[in-house]
Amino acid sequence: MNAIISKAKEVFFSVAPITALVLILHFTITPMDTDVIIRFIIGSVFVMIGLIIFLLGVDIGVTPLGSLTGSSLVKTNKVWVVLVTGLTLGFFVSVAEPGLIVLANQVNLVTSGNIPGISIIIVVSLGLAVMLSLGMLRVFYKITLHKAFIALYSILFILAIFSSQEFIAISFDAAASTTGILVVPFILALSVGISKLNKDSEASERDSFGLVAVTATGIAMSVMLLGIFSKTDDFTAALDIELSGFDSIIKSFIKIMPQYIKESFIAILPLVIILLVLQKIFFKLRRRELRKLLTGFIYAFIGLFIFLVGVNAGFMDVGITIGSELALLDSKIYIIVVAFILGFVTVMAEPAVYILTHQIEDVTSGHVKRKAVLLSLTIGAGSAVALSIIRILVPGIQLWHYLLPGYAMCIIMMFFIPKLFVGMAFDAGVVATGPMTATFILAFVQGAASAFEGADVLIDGFGMIATAALTPIVTLEILGLIFAIKSRKKGVEKKDA
C-alpha cells in the first residue's frame, strides 16, 4: 500500500503542474474549445492512473529483471554472453518504452505517414540494442567514458553532416525520448550489476553511470542512418486537432482502446518471454519470486495501455492548441516564459529523474545531494524549451547551432570535472526527457511551429527533446565544477580527478 501511495504522489506532482498551468492559460490568454479542455482533463486522469500502475510494474518486474541480469552476467564473465544478452534485452525493452511509442506515432502523424512509426520503433530499438551491448563491453574492457564519448559523438556529428535537417531533429529527439520510464530503470539496474565486473570500488562507482547516455548515441546514429539510406526527402507536414463534440468525448476514448491494447500487449510480451527464458537458464528463482516478477509485467501492460489512451485521446491536442495560440499573440515574451515554466516543472517531477537523482545520492553516499542535481536539471530543461521556442521565432537559428557547440562544450568540460560527474551528467541529459516531455511539451512546441509564419512543423517542431537532453548535461557539469572547486578549498582530493 505504501508503494502505491508513493507512486501516486510521484505521478501527481509530475502531471498536476502541467494540468494547473493549462487551466490557468485556458481561463486567461488561450481559451480553448470546451470539448478539447474536457478531453484534456479526462486524459490527464488517464495519464496519472496509467503512470502509477506502470511504475509499480517497473519496480516489481522490470527493474528486478535488470538487476538479476546484471548479476548473472557478472558471474558468467563471458564476452559473448554479455553481447547477446545486451542485444536481446536492449531491443525488447526499447520496443516497450512509452516515450518511444508516443514519439513514433507523432512522427507518423506529422509526416503524414512518410516516416512510418513502426520503422522508427524498430530502427531505434536496434540502435539501442547494439549500443547497450557495446556499452557493457566498455565496462568489461575498462574503457573510460571520456574516450567512449569522444569517439561516439565524433561519429554522430559526422553522420549529421550527411543527414537532412528533418532526420537530425528526429534522431536526437528519439535518443532522448526512448530513455524514459521503462528503459532508464532497467539500464540503471543493469549497469549497477555490470559495474561489479570492475573490482576497483571507485571505478565500479563510476561505471554505475554512463550506460544510459552511451545507448542514447546508438539511437541517434540509427535514425540518421535510416534517413541517409532511405533517401526520403519529400515530406508533407501537418497537424490536425479533432473536435469530437461534447456528446462524443467518451467515444473518442473508447474507439482507440483496441489499438492501444494491442500495442501494449506487443510491447510487454517479449519481456515476459525473456524473463521466462533467463529464469530457465540463469535465475532459478523460487515460484513465489517468479510470480511476483510476472505480476509486475501485468501491471506494466495495464499501465502502459491506460497511459497511451490518455495521451492520444486528449492530452496532446491541448499542447498543440496552447502552442499555436501563444505563437499568434503579438508579444512573444508570453510563449517564451510559458515554455521555460513548462520545462522547469515537467522535468522537476519526471519519474526517471526521480530514480536517477536518488541513485546519484545513494551511490555517492550523500556527497552529491539530490536537490542540487534536481535544481541543475530543472534549470537546464526550462532553458531548453525556451531555446526551442526562440529557434522557431528566429528563422536563422537551426538545431545544429545549439547541438554542435553545446556538445563540444560538454566534451571539453569532461576533462575538468570529477570522472564520476561525467557519467552522471550525460545520463541525466537523456533521463530528463520522459513521458511528459515526449507528449505535452513536444505537442506544445509543434503547435507553435505550425502557427508561426515561416516555421516548419517537421524541422522546427522536432528537436526540442534533443535540446532538453543537452542543456541538463551542461548544468550538471557546471555542478561538477563547483563540487570540484569546493573539494579543493576544503583540502579534499577529488575522487578520480
Tens digits of residue pLDDT in 248-282: 677 778 888 888 898 788 878 888 888 888 888 87
Q: How many CA atoms lie within 13 A of 287 on its CB side?
A: 0
CB 121 within 8 A of CB 100: yes
Instruction: Give the tens place of pLDDT for each residue, 182-214.
Output: 777 777 777 766 666 555 545 445 555 678 888
The pLDDT, as a whole number, for residue 291 is 92
What is d(CA 196, CA 183) in angstroms, rounded to the nearest whole number? 20
> Measured in whole angstroms, how far is the alpha carbon of residue 35 from the centre of its chain?
30
pLDDT for 70 = 73
Whose cell is 515561416? That residue is 454
Task: Report the distance separating Cα 60 and Cα 58, nearest Å.
Answer: 6
Residue 241, in any domain of the structure: yes
Q: Flag whether 108 is in a domain.
A: yes
Look at residue 86 in the predicted model and tell me its pLDDT: 75
pLDDT tens-place string over residues 341-386: 888 887 765 666 766 677 677 766 777 777 888 888 888 888 989 9
> pLDDT below 50 — which residues of the chain?
201, 203-204, 246, 492-497
CB atoms within 10 A of CB 1: 5
- The reply to whether 90 falls in a domain is yes
Give the 3-state secondary structure of residue 284: coil
Nearest by Cα to 172 from 393, 404, 372, 397: 404
pTM: 0.74
Whole-angstrom distance, CA of residue 174 vs CA of residue 164: 15
Radius of gyration of the chain (CA): 21
List b or e across 291-303, with b for residues whose CB sees 16 or more CB atoms inside 10 angstroms. Answer: eebbebbebbbbb
Question: Which amino acid, residue 380?
Answer: G
Residue 496 within a domain: no
Query: What is the tally of structural domains in the chain?
Result: 1
pLDDT for res 355: 67
Domain hosting 291: range is 2-489
* pLDDT tens digits, one per residue of 12-44: 877 888 888 888 988 888 888 888 888 888 888
Residue 174, domain member (yes or no): yes
Coil, helix or strand at residue 331: coil
Is 466 contained in some domain? yes
Domain presence at residue 497 = no
What's residue 265's pLDDT? 86
Neighbours of 377 (CB within 10 A): 29
